[in-house]
Amino acid sequence: MDFLVLFLFYVALVLIGVVMICICSKTRYLKGLVRGGAQIISYIIPECLQRAMLKLLHYLFHTRNHIFILLHLVLQGMVYSEYTWEVFGYCRELEFPLHYLLLPYLLLIVNLVFFTLSCVSNPGTITKANELSFLQVYEFDEVMFSKNIKCSTCNLRKPARSKHCSVCNRCVHRFDHHCVWVNNCIGAWNARYFLLYLLTLTASAGTMAVVSTVFLVQLVVLSDLYLETYVDDLGHFQVVDIVFLIQYLFVTFPRIVFMLGFVVMLSLLLGGYLCFALYLAATNQTTNEWYRGDRAWCQHCPHVGRPPSAEPQVYRNIHSHGIWSNLREIFLPATARYERKKN
């Protein structure tokens, strides 16, 4: 029974980790997968349950709510509780360096600071008061962003690189994406907080994975378990191999092994998304622009009207000015620099 509970718990955590990355980095492949899955489900699940699921999904992903913030904190609390109660205690008995064991807690504190800032900070909401200043920050490329386009909802002129968020019901300057895990848009003014939040979250998961792995390896080495033999199902003596060691550790420390599997999976997923986010920052792109730009051609931009017979316009990133300038723009938003010059 304990094995079944732990197995379901692990599967749920891994799935949530996968969903976390998929939500933050929406791609057309994910949308195609979702559509295909929805078609299959429509033949299996009754229509009344489908409607209930659609309402739930609409509430979770298309309205502002604190569900994912609470889920984030619960998951983080569960992982750190397991690390504290088992890994930390065993490692202290094995005389691991204290600063080595306390590093995940330091990363947790820093991560929670940037998580809070990502949740509560203004991403760069465009209003009547700041509309004119935002219009002068970025140049219009006339391919992805055109002049004199008004937001039909806010009735404001749309600055270059801005977008109306249907979840928050506001236009956001240098809009990147809406993240359900922080219940906020990611824009010009809080992109630095989100990037540091993602960096520290990845580092904390990776650090716990390293500490847990080193503990298990040292346990095997100190016990000389890798030198032992065992009798297989046929009655033959076999030298202990890696598969047997994993099985033994799983039976002896099931919760630690499950936690290790989760943080390793999460480290890989978060690490992949962090690399993507750093690439966008280094090239001065947003997730919205990367998705719409289709890498080289902007042939599907819904806001750019042109005759069907017209040649497709080449999209060129005119906002990239070198990696250091691009990174500096994340941590010192262009709007802030403009307003200081103006004053």
Give the catalytic positions in this structure. Answer: 179
As a whole number of Å, the end-to-end CA separation of the chain is 67
d(CA 236, CA 241): 14
Residue located via tokens 């992805």 = 144
3-class SS letters over the chain: CHHHHHHHHHHHHHHHHHHHHHHHCCCHHHHHHHHHHHHHHHCCCCHHHHHHHHHHHHHHHHCCCCHHHHHHHHHHHHHHHHHHHHHHHHHHHCCCCHHHHHHHHHHHHHHHHHHHHHHHCCCCECCCCCHHHHHCCCCCCCCCCCCCCECCCCCCECCCCCEEECCCCEEECCCCEEECCCCEEECCCCHHHHHHHHHHHHHHHHHHHHHHHHHHHHHHHHCCHHHCEEECCCCCEEECCHHHHHHHHHHHCHHHHHHHHHHHHHHHHHHHHHHHHHHHHHCCCCHHHHHHHCCCECCCCCCCCCCCCCCCCECCCCCCCCHHHHHHHHHCCHHHHHHHHHC
Nearest CA to 223 out of 94, 87, 97, 86 is that of 94
Triad 20, 288, 327: Cα angle to 5°? 90
* Strand partners for 229: 239
